[in-house]
A and B are shown apart, each in its own frame.
Chain A
């Protein structure tokens, strides 16, 4: 009897290893805890994309539950999620765009603002505009402070201006229901 127990130990260890490796097959390496959760929005002073004279600061998020969507016209997945974001906006969600441009290299700076505005207007009139307004992250500083790795990414910000959720990738009905819906409704009810 004791001998059987002894043989079961390596079998148990083996099964444990198999289980550990098996669940690894379904984990997403791109998903990792954002270090900014429960933190207030980083400080910033950035212009409105369509009206460069107007500037926003982190205080603009106070008092409303906001979805901050990081995007750009050059990003294909962003174009895919735009119609769904439009639908969310039609349902009454407050969506703000954080726009940054790939071609504006702070070291070389070639593209004019007027050109960027034209591209954005074209894209949004074609696919629908879900944004209350767009913040223009000229040198991608705010994106860096937010830990943005690419586009699209979306942040859920509560009434106190704190970041409650950080999603890397597009938003679709599945992601919304699984990740956003519960916490969004809880925040709105507050």
Chain B
């Protein structure tokens, strides 16, 4: 019995490993640089159908098609920017996780900076005012004490 189980286990492992090999073989590149670029691009391109997954992660038909397209383009010696432009032309800025800087998206960077500066300014102003108020009050009190002693 024990032997049977272990044989089954080995068979299962063999199946699994052949699956892994199959998916890797599907997109085979000549150079390791291209393989790395392929992995990078499929991680940074967003699946248009299942919006919170990149195309490497997703099994939607569209993601499979996009992966194949990336592979084709890389085989045609496209560089990273060219592949991204190809996808943006068809699926919009949406398809790439890094948003472009334009009048609408500039606020993503400006707002946090503006917030920090206004908050800092606010803190400085209130601090200054408090110090002055405390000083005059304390001075008056001290003056009163001095006068009483005399």
Residue A145 CB within 8 A of the other chain = yes
**Contact present for B90 and A149 (CB under 8 Å):** no
**Contact present for A146 and B49 (CB under 8 Å):** no
Select B92's contact among A30, A33, A150, beta carbons within 8 Å.
A33
**Contact present for B68 and A149 (CB under 8 Å):** no
Q: How large is the interface on A (under 10, 10 to 19, 20 to 34, 35 or more residues)?
A: 10 to 19
Residue A174 CB within 8 A of the other chain = no
| 10 chain-A/chain-B pairs, Cβ below 8 angstroms | A30-B51, A35-B88, A35-B89, A106-B68, A140-B65, A144-B65, A145-B90, A147-B90, A147-B92, A150-B62
If the complex has contacts A32-B92, A147-B92, A150-B61, are A107 and B26 also in contact, measured as CB distance less than 8 A?
Answer: yes
Residue B94 CB within 8 A of the other chain = yes
- In addition to A140-B65, A147-B90, A150-B62, 16 A-B residue pairs with Cβ atoms within 8 Å of each other are A29-B51, A30-B51, A32-B92, A34-B92, A35-B89, A35-B91, A36-B90, A102-B61, A107-B26, A146-B90, A147-B92, A149-B62, A149-B91, A150-B49, A150-B60, A150-B61
Q: Complex formed: what's the CA distance from A36 to B91 in Å?
A: 8
Q: Complex formed: what's the CA distance from A149 to B51 in Å?
A: 11
**Contact present for B92 and A149 (CB under 8 Å):** no
- Name A30's closest neighbour in chain B (CB-CB): B51
Q: Report A's interface with B, CB cutoff 8 A.
A: 29-30, 32-36, 102, 106-107, 140, 143-150
Q: Complex formed: what's the CA distance from A114 to B66 in Å?
A: 27
**Contact present for A149 and B88 (CB under 8 Å):** no
- Name B62's closest neighbour in chain A (CB-CB): A149
- Name A107's closest neighbour in chain B (CB-CB): B26
Q: Complex formed: what's the CA distance from A112 to B89 in Å?
A: 32
If the complex has contacts A32-B94, A106-B68, A107-B68, are A149 and B89 also in contact, measured as CB distance less than 8 A?
Answer: no
Q: Complex formed: what's the CA distance from A77 to B65 in Å?
A: 21
**Contact present for B90 and A35 (CB under 8 Å):** yes
Residues of A close to B66: CB separation below 8 A: 144
Residue B69 CB within 8 A of the other chain = yes
Q: In the assembled complex, how far is the CB of residue A115 from the closest CB belonging to chain B, in whole angstroms?
A: 18
Select A144's contact among B60, B69, B88, B93, beta carbons within 8 Å.
B69
